[in-house]
Amino acid sequence: MDVTQALKSRYTCRGFKPNPVPKETLTEILEAANRAPSWADTQPWEVYIASGDALERLRKAHLDIFATGAAPHPDLPPPAPWPPAPKKRMDGLLALHKKEAQDHPEHKNNPEAYLVRQMNFFKAPVVIYLCLDRTLSPWSIFDMGFYAQSLLLAAKERGLDTAGSYRLVSYPELIRSEMGIPENLSILFGIALGYATEHSQTTRFESPRRPIKEVVKWKGFE
């Protein structure tokens, strides 16, 4: 699989098989992602990976706290409010999510089922947490984006699917406690990883992209 194929075939997987992912495969993915560029080679990423009993404890803790109605409070909060143009695109995606949710077998007569699936990490056998020293600036968050995308593509090359989401880090105190993550690290992002279920593959949708003529401003070209 070449890079363009990986970019076009990658999608946010919302259902995983219970099949474990070999540690050797994860190590290959991490070795590839570790080549991501960073400002002056600072390599600011700190990575924590949960699977097995540790992940099951995290799953239960997230489902329990979500059931109490506790609001998400990630270390890196989302924008409030979103600018109009991104908000419009987000609303369009949420409409697609709603349609997918209505067709999901676990969602019948349960309007909150999609959020419960998120708190259950879509049943993924592995969750990767990307962390960053709190004293670093947004420039280093930019580096973390390089790392995250590299990881997603390396996973896709090896037949694995992923779901990157801030929902996976909604309650950082639970992750910090289970994974032993120190307070000086901000838990930025979570990536669920594993082998996609047949339902996830057949109901996947390709979210629309802005045309290049809208995104890019050219100057100095014929």
Q: Are 204 and 103 in contact (CB under 8 A)?
A: no
User: How high is the pLDDT of residue 109?
Assistant: 54
Note the pLDDT tens digit of each residue in 111-152. Answer: 567 788 889 999 999 999 999 999 999 999 999 999 999 999
Nearest to 131 by CA among 150, 113, 111, 148: 148
Residue 221 domain flag: no
Task: Report CA-CA distances (Å) from 91 to 72, 86, 205, 207.
Answer: 20, 9, 15, 12
Q: Is the residue at 220 inside a domain? A: no
**Residue 204 lies in domain:** 3-215
Pairing mode, strands 126-133 and 161-165: unpaired
Sequence-ordered list of residues with C-beta below 8 angstroms from that of 217, at least 6 positions apart, any chain: none
Q: How far apart are CA 103 and CA 97, in angstroms?
A: 10
91 in a structural domain: yes
Strands, E, within 43-201: which ranges? 46-51, 126-133, 161-165, 185-194
Cα distance between residue 36 and residue 150, in whole Å: 6
Whether 117 maps to a domain, the answer reads: yes
pLDDT over threshold 80, residue 192: yes
The two tokens of residue 87 are: 């908000």
Instruction: Give domain status of residue 222, yes or no.
Output: no
pTM summary value: 0.91
Query: Looking at residue 110, what is its pLDDT?
Result: 59
Is 114 a member of any domain? yes
Domain count, the chain: 1
Lowest mean pLDDT, pick from 68-72, 166-170, 202-206: 202-206
In-domain check, residue 186: yes
pLDDT digits (tens, 9 = 90+) for 91-114: 888 777 776 666 665 555 555 677
Q: What is the CATH number of the domain that holds 211?
A: 3.40.109.10
